[in-house]
Amino acid sequence: MRGRLRLLTLLAILAVVLYPLVWMVGTAFKSPQEIVNNIGLIPREFTPGNFTEGWHKLDVNFGRFFLNSAMVAVLAVLGNTVSCLLAAFAFGRLKFRLRKVWFAVMIGTLLLPGHVLIIPQYILFRTLGWVGGDWPYLPLVVPHFLATEAFFVFLMVQFMRGIPRELDEAAKIDGASPYSIFQHVILPLSRPALVTTAIFSFIWTWNDFFRQLVYLSDLEDYTAPVALTLFIDSTSESSVGPMFAMSLLSLIPVFLFFVAFQRMLVEGINTSGLKG
């Protein structure tokens, strides 16, 4: 009896939690009349009209925005996995001067709120001439190649601690240099941490808004989230459908990642969060 009560409570909470998502999907497929008349979750008639309308609603079509978003996200994934792995290898396995101090500084930047950095970084990139330059994505992409995401460095250092040092030492006795230890021992064994980093980098960059808003000024350079805000200006009844359709499309990549890697995502935040 108690078990059933608990299950019912959970189902009720789940219904409330999932309602907005289901409602969004339903509304995206409703015709303009139905959005006004039918307050139910499920459209009486599924119409794809909102998607074609939303796709072409702005002067540049939405495919372009999605491509821009995908490009920024893929480069961020590449940059984060490569640079954070190298940084983590240095912290975890190599000996260099002031290693402990640098590690503490790195952990310190973990607590540094990201939004505080926006202004200083903007000024730096502007001084370098990267803002509004030929390729406006430089300020969005380059930091990822410099291992600035302390979170991932930390995650990988923690992970590498679990790789037995005997493996390194055995390789060293066989005459391996730090480079080949990295290549043949650490790199292959770090795959789970790399995958976690890649997934989170993608999702965070895809969802990121503040930075993209600040650095992108030409419509054709916009990423999907920045383009979506243009819909808000015109929240007349007729544009709700297209706005929802495009919002829904923009969430699909993250949703697919969620479906494919659900276990990993959930475990990822556990290991990174609790081993500290």
Partner 1 sequence: MAITAIPMLLSLYLSFTDYDVLTPLSEINWVGWANYERMFTTDPSYWHAVTVTLTFALIAVPLKLAAALGVALLLSRAIRGIGLFRGLFYLPSLLGGSVALAIVWVSMFNRDGAFNSFLALFGIEGAPWVNDPSWALETLMVLAIWQFGAPMVIFLAGLKQVPAELYEAASVDGAGPWRQFRNITLPMLSPVIFFNLVLETIHGFQGFTSAFVLSNGTGGPVDSTLMYTLNLYIKGFVELDMGYASAMAWVFLVVIGLITVVLFRTGRFWVHYSDSEER
Among positions 214-253, residues that touch partner 1 (CB under 8 A) are 214, 225-226, 228-229, 231-233, 235, 240, 243-244, 246-248, 250-251
* Residue from 119, 170, 187, 256 in contact with partner 1 (CB under 8 A): 119
Task: Specify the residue, 95 or 115, whose C-beta has the smaller distance to partner 1.
Answer: 115
Task: Specify the residue, 136 or 171, whose C-beta has the smaller distance to partner 1.
Answer: 136
For the record, the structure tokens of 156 come out as 């990988």
* Residue from 72, 106, 193, 194 in contact with partner 1 (CB under 8 A): 106
* Smallest distance, partner 1 to C-beta of residue 187, A: 23
N-term to C-term CA, the chain: 40
Task: Specify the residue, 36 or 187, whose C-beta has the smaller distance to partner 1.
Answer: 36
- CA-nearest of 272, 204, 259, 249 to 66 is 249
- Based on the shown chain and the rule CB under 8 A, indicate whether residue 175 belongs to the binding site for partner 1: no
* Smallest distance, partner 1 to C-beta of residue 202, A: 11
Q: Which stretch binds partner 1 (CB under 8 A): 71-79, 162-170, 190-198, 201-209?
A: 201-209
Fill in the per-residue mask, 143 to 162: x = in contact with partner 1 (CB under 8 A), - = not in contact: x--x-x--------------
Euclidean distance between CA atoms 25 and 130, whole angstroms? 39
- Based on the shown chain and the rule CB under 8 A, indicate whether residue 86 belongs to the binding site for partner 1: no
- CA-nearest of 89, 104, 97 to 147 is 89
- Based on the shown chain and the rule CB under 8 A, indicate whether residue 188 belongs to the binding site for partner 1: no
- Determine the angle formed by the axes of helices 99-111 and 150-161, rounding to 10 degrees: 130
Contact set for partner 1, span 6-65 (CB under 8 A): 6-7, 9-10, 13-14, 17-18, 20-21, 23-24, 27, 36, 39
